[in-house]
A and B are shown apart, each in its own frame.
Chain A
Amino acid sequence: MTIHLSILLFFPLVLGAFGGLAPRGFAPSTLLVGSLVSLIYAVLLLLEFDTGAAGLQFVTSDAWIDDLGVRYSLGVDGLNLWLVALTALLFAVAALWITLRPPDRPKLYVFHLGVAETGVLGALLAQDLLLFVLFFDLMLVPFYFLIGQWGGGDRVGATFKLVVYTLVGSLLMLAAAVATGVTAGAGAEGGLSFDIAALAEAPVESSTQQWIFVAFALAFLIKMGAFPLHGWMPDGYRAMPLPVLAVFSGVLSKVAAYGFLRVVLPVFPDAAQEFETVMLILAVLSILYGSAQAFTQTNVRLILGYSSMAQLGFIMLGIFALGQAAGAQGALLQMVNHGLVVAPLCFIVALLHERTGSDDLREMGGAALRAPVLSALFLVVALATLAIPGSANFAGEFLILLGVFNAKLAIAIIASTGVALASVYMLRAFIRAMHNRLRGGTGSYDLSVRDGLVLVPLVVLIVAFGVYPQQALEHSQATVERVVAAPAAVAREASP
């Protein structure tokens, strides 16, 4: 059957709009139906994908705004295939979560989630640079409302900080994108050309590439929460409602990492080569700083946030091990893995909050006493996060480190310590929350069936992936090799 990416893209928005107009009680279920349909579509996409081919598949390409040279063009290849599936999965999980535990004002909540899902999918599927920037900016807007209206603590201040910080980077990226379009489209009719594939064929000249690279890198680094541009992260993570946090942490940061692979490396190979060391150092700093913070923080949300920072540092490491297909492959795998572990972790934070009334580790302990199932599931997720051998995270980190070893040895050695640090913070969190003495205010009861519906499928997926990570890798092989070829060619030219 022919798969139309536009349906996949706009279905969540349409159903979110319906949910916004539906009666209160039905709003979350409407979103659930919508995201399940998208999920099924994404799975079909996975099954129908032709693994051997290197180019874009299921392409939709229509003229949209000729005066601005913007085309409505979508496509799937090895880079975004699994991310699209991950997005559909995480939003379906969030929809299930809010169906089982409805928030107040569910209609608006559902509408914003629908817009968010369309925004993220659009950013992943877009093959036109301006379309990519449009969806990248758009996907943040519903989160402003979600955090500001349904968050906790200083939600208005936190969402303001988060959105402004991120949008500063994104707006710079907009200017850079227009500059790219103008420079590349100099010969084209209308003066502008934004098609990413075409841009990759004919990269912009070296000197202009520099500031454009910096603008894009800023936008993506801020979005990823890399050190030192992570100032929005602590407040944001503290304030976000947990279903929103699951999709935010699981998917949005991956779009930024994907943006590096899709846009920055192919279109600006010279600048990528020049800034390779800087980016690798920033990645290592993220890993070290994130891990250090994660094992000193007592707020479980912040532990989650800083651990994400460290994981994204690894992903960035893999991306910028230029010329090494292994690095990029590992990065792609880790993107999916991190998304898969972050969602259950957020849910477990919610469950712990229910049992202890707080997010603080110092007030937790002994929750495992009468909750063996919850404890076991949490342990699986925790071990997966710290990349125990046997999990897909291990495969991902191994590939990343392999790539970086071949590219820059010293950085790889320092980064390897990050693997050990991950064990420290993850096990600390697990032990202090679940083991030790049962504290006074802590209730210890096991997972209900309702909660199990959300948690168990995710854990099953984590285990399944751990058994066979190759399924994610083989899809992306051909595309990754093409993506890393451009900077590698530049590197070969540069070094005599």
Chain B
Amino acid sequence: MTVTGPKIDWLAISPLVALVVGACVVLLAGLMRASFVRQTLVPLLTLVTLGVALGLVIGTWGDSTSVISGAMAMDDLTRFLTLLFLVGAAASVLLAWRGIAPREAGHGEFYALLLCVVLGMAVLAGATNLVTIFIGYELLSIPLYVLCATEMRRARSLESGLKYLIIGSVGSATLLYGLAFVYGATGSTDFARIAAGTEVMAEDVLLLTGLALVVAGLAFKASVAPFHQWTPDVYEGAPTAVTAFMAVATKAAAFGVIVRFFDVAVIDASATWAPALAALAVVTIVVGNVGAIGQSSLKRLLAYSSVAQAGYMLAGVVVSTQLGVRALVFYLAVYLVMNLAAFAVIVARERETDVGDDISSLYGLGAARPLLAWPMTIAMLGLSGLPATAGFFGKIYLIDAAVDNGYAWLGVAIVLGSAISLAYYLRVIAAVWMRAPGERPVAAAAAVAAGPPRPAIAGGSAEAGADPAAVVAGARRGGGGGGAGGAGDGGGAGDDGGEPERRFAQPEVVGLALLCAAATVALGIYPSPLLDLARDAGASLTGLF
């Protein structure tokens, strides 16, 4: 008697397999003693893994298959989102290359965990089964909790990892509870069968309760208000390379599963959940934009900004049309590029100055370091949706999706949110071009004084502009550094005479920033290729109008 096993579509799941194999190889390679292997070969192997996965994704583009007995769908939407995760991870590897985090975490472990997160995101993006959602969610979250805490000698990093763990676990439990209710109401964990069940019983209390809990659980991951409270603290505390990855890829993964779950599985209950999500979207837009206005820490500013952007993206889900899905994935892609440019500049400046990610690290950048100034400027202009950047078309596409389906007020909300967001994006640009290095930050001076303690790597020097003369002299890297430095706080790298700015060769970071900025402008002039990819991704949700 022969037992026929399930048919395994190896080609379709090859990117996932590549990631698993890569993670194992990287982990093992990191055990080698030679520092060349640990510090150079391991990141290289990670990049190779990501590259192989990328190649496999592109190679299998166009096929739409259901794999693992219907638990996952490898269609163009999954592939588009996987592309975003892979690009985000590659950028994160580049940003972490010379950083502290991999050194402290044991190189192999850091990069292997990163690859596991990507794997979890890919699983989550393709999930067509409730159990797969949970597996992907956990596979993505747990390594990420650890990654946040990898700068182990910095209290804020450990704090951020712990916070993320606790709050993320609550979110995860909520999600599981909700998924259980949905299963109880519809009798199945498979999306297709859930959709059939929802058609019949769209108003069922058990189902709606389950949906509410699922929204809460997924909203945690996507940083949608009022479940966004963890975002600023965790983003600020985590190592910046990890923050960059979280900001772009986690959001993409969360929105991927949101769009699949709501626009495929429970689409027939849309009369109930669509207005609720729309209201959440507006609240998120307001909370995110208002929260970012007073921030003096760039990572917190970008955290709140990402909350607001999540609000804009939620509009693409609410409308439940193919146009909405296309607008959502297009915006995720342009959001990725713009955010990576900004984070790359932050990483570069963190290593060159003593003020960490405070906005004063950008002062004088326009004159001194145009290669970093322009990417930051373009990123900020793009995130606020100004023309000649990809963000402009991203916003237009979202507004188009909203207006096209009777949600014109949501379009207006997006626009008003963008207007409010100018307040902080323009402030960052002003810091880059219109402030001299060493100037005490104007509005945020009080916030700096009362704000969180400086990270330990900043050498313990107190305020950013504590002694403007010392900082200016140091920044100019010219004469009088010793005398002026000695007069001030005298903290930081003593052998440099109190100079807060170091030259740090990091071509991969600067190169990433320039590349992402160029991509932002290029997509702002000619977005059609990306629009075509988004069209393919949207078309794979065949049930949508």
Contact = CB atoms under 8 A, between A and B. Distances in A.
Contact of A141 (B386, B527, B535): B386
B101 interface: no
A145 B412 CA distance: 27
Given A65-B393, A67-B528, A182-B404, A163 B422 contact: yes
B531 A144 contact: no
B458 to A, nearest CB: 26
A230 interface: no
A172 B392 contact: no
Interface residues of A, number: 34
A241 interface: no
B408 interface: yes
Interface in A160-210: 160, 163-164, 167-168, 171-172, 174-175, 178-179, 181-182, 191-192
B464 to A, nearest CB: 18
B411 A67 contact: no
B399 A178 contact: yes
B20 interface: no
B457 interface: no
Contacts of A172: 412, 415-416, 419
Interface stretch (B25-33, B161-169, B188-196, B423-431): B423-431
Nearest to A179: B403
Given A141-B386, A179-B411, A174 B423 contact: no
A274 interface: no
Interface string B427-460: 1011001110000000000000000000000000
Contacts of A281: none
B323 interface: yes
Contact of A65 (B399, B414, B435, B528): B528
Contacts of A167: 386, 419, 422
A313 B45 CA distance: 67
A138 B388 CA distance: 7
Interface string B343-385: 0000000000000000000000011000000000000010001
B396 interface: yes
Nearest to A148: B434
Contacts of A168: 419
A113 to B, nearest CB: 16
Contact of B400 (A66, A108, A182): A182
Contacts of B427: 160
B387 interface: yes
A181 B408 CA distance: 13
A135 interface: yes
Interface centre among A105, A148, A174 (most CB of B within 10 A): A174
A395 interface: no
B308 to A, nearest CB: 14
B85 interface: no
A164 B399 contact: no
B453 to A, nearest CB: 29
A181 B392 contact: no
A478 interface: no
B400 A144 contact: no
A172 B535 CA distance: 27
A175 B410 CA distance: 10
Contacts of B227: none
Given A163-B422, A164-B423, A182 B403 contact: yes
Contacts of B366: 108, 149
B392 A156 contact: no
B418 interface: yes
A208 to B, nearest CB: 9
Which DSSP category, helix, strand, loop or mixed, fits chain B's interface?
helix
A13 to B, nearest CB: 10
Instruction: Tell me which of A156, A164, A167, A171 has the highest count of chain B C-beta atoms within 10 A of its own C-beta.
Output: A171
A167 B531 CA distance: 26
Contacts of B387: 134-135, 137-138, 141
B434 A156 contact: yes
B43 to A, nearest CB: 34
Interface string B516-545: 000000000001100110010000000000
Nearest to A183: B403
Nearest to A108: B366
A1 B371 CA distance: 42
A178 B403 contact: yes
A192 B326 CA distance: 15
Contacts of A191: 323, 400, 404
Given A141-B386, A156-B430, A164-B422, A68 B400 contact: yes
Contact of A164 (B385, B400, B419, B429): B419
B396 to A, nearest CB: 6
Contacts of B97: none
B245 interface: no
A149 B535 contact: no
Contact of B399 (A138, A159, A174): A174
B333 to A, nearest CB: 14
A223 interface: no
B134 interface: no
Contacts of B434: 148-149, 155-156
Interface residues of B, number: 40
Contacts of B418: 171
Nearest to B384: A167
A130 interface: yes
A163 B415 contact: no
Contacts of B404: 182, 191
A138 B535 CA distance: 27
A168 B417 CA distance: 10
A65 B426 CA distance: 28
B397 interface: yes
B419 A65 contact: no
B531 A65 contact: yes
Given A66-B528, A191-B323, A191-B404, A174 B422 contact: no
Nearest to A163: B426
Nearest to A175: B415
Contacts of B367: 105
Contacts of A160: 426-427, 430
Given A65-B527, A148-B433, A149-B434, A178 B411 contact: yes
A181 B411 CA distance: 13
A68 B396 contact: yes
Nearest to A164: B422
Nearest to B404: A182
B530 to A, nearest CB: 10
Nearest to B392: A134
B422 A178 contact: no
Contacts of A65: 393, 527-528, 531
A68 B397 CA distance: 7
A161 B531 CA distance: 35
B366 to A, nearest CB: 8
A191 B545 CA distance: 13
Given A65-B528, A130-B396, A181-B400, A141 B433 contact: no
Contacts of A66: 528
Contacts of B396: 68, 130, 174, 178
Given A156-B435, A178-B399, A191-B404, 20 more contacts: A66-B528, A67-B528, A67-B531, A67-B535, A137-B387, A138-B388, A141-B387, A144-B426, A149-B366, A156-B430, A159-B430, A163-B422, A167-B422, A171-B385, A171-B418, A172-B412, A174-B396, A175-B399, A178-B411, A182-B400
26 contacts: A67-B531, A68-B396, A108-B366, A134-B388, A137-B387, A141-B387, A148-B430, A148-B434, A155-B434, A156-B435, A160-B426, A160-B427, A163-B426, A164-B422, A164-B426, A167-B422, A171-B419, A172-B419, A174-B415, A175-B403, A175-B408, A175-B411, A178-B396, A178-B400, A182-B400, A191-B404
Interface of A: 65-68, 105, 108, 130, 134-135, 137-138, 141, 144-145, 148-149, 155-156, 159-160, 163-164, 167-168, 171-172, 174-175, 178-179, 181-182, 191-192
Lowest 3 A-B CB distances belong to which pairs? A138-B387, A175-B415, A67-B531
